[in-house]
Amino acid sequence: MTLAPLPEQIPTIRGVLKYFKVTSYITGVFLILIMVMWAIRLSIHADLWLAGPDGFLALAFYSEGADGVKVGLPTNGFSLTSVSLIVHGWLYVAYLFGDFRLWTLLRWSFTRFLIIALGGIVPFLSFFTEKYFAKVAEADLKKVV
């Protein structure tokens, strides 16, 4: 059973809802980006490399050694593939924070919290959870007013 949000928290909830919408889209875009880079990594054994020896932005091909270590990657510049994984990780933390705030302020069930949390790790799901649960949140807020 979902309890109604408290009337004095409505302005806070509206701000958190905006935060949640923004983090949902940004996290979803980065998740799609890392899935594309993962597909490139698996299919042609390459990472997207910035400021490496092959130019400003290039694919850096590698082979895997017997111990699973990547051999042949440049020694200068940095891997945008690795950077995008790190950035997505931190964006997911921000997304989870928004999820947690919505969950606590709107007094939703733990199942809703988990479904929304999956949006940051299942490709494209964050776009659907944002759209659906934003409508649910707005409907919950209308009940209070």
pLDDT tens for 1-54 read 567 777 888 999 999 999 999 999 999 999 999 999 999 989 999 999 999 888
Range with the poorest average pLDDT among 5-9, 61-65, 83-87, 99-103: 5-9
86 within a domain of the structure (yes/no): yes
113 within a domain of the structure (yes/no): yes
For residues 51-73, give the mean pLDDT: 87
Secondary structure letter of residue 4 according to DSSP = P
Using only C-alpha atoms, the chain has a radius of gyration, in whole angstroms, of 20
> b/e string for 60-90 if b means 16 or more Cβ within 10 A?
bebeeeeeeeeeebbeebebbbeebeeebee
* CA 109 – CA 31 distance, rounded (Å): 26
**At residue 96, does pLDDT exceed 60?**
yes
Q: Cβ contacts of residue 89 below 8 Å, gap of 6+?
A: none
Domain containing 124 equals 15-144
127 within a domain of the structure (yes/no): yes
5 within a domain of the structure (yes/no): no
Give the residues across from 60 on adjacent strands.
Answer: 47
The pLDDT > 90 percentage for the chain reads 68
pTM listed for this prediction: 0.86
7 Rama sector, left if φ>0, alpha if ψ -120 to 50, beta otherwise: alpha
The count of structural domains within the chain is: 1
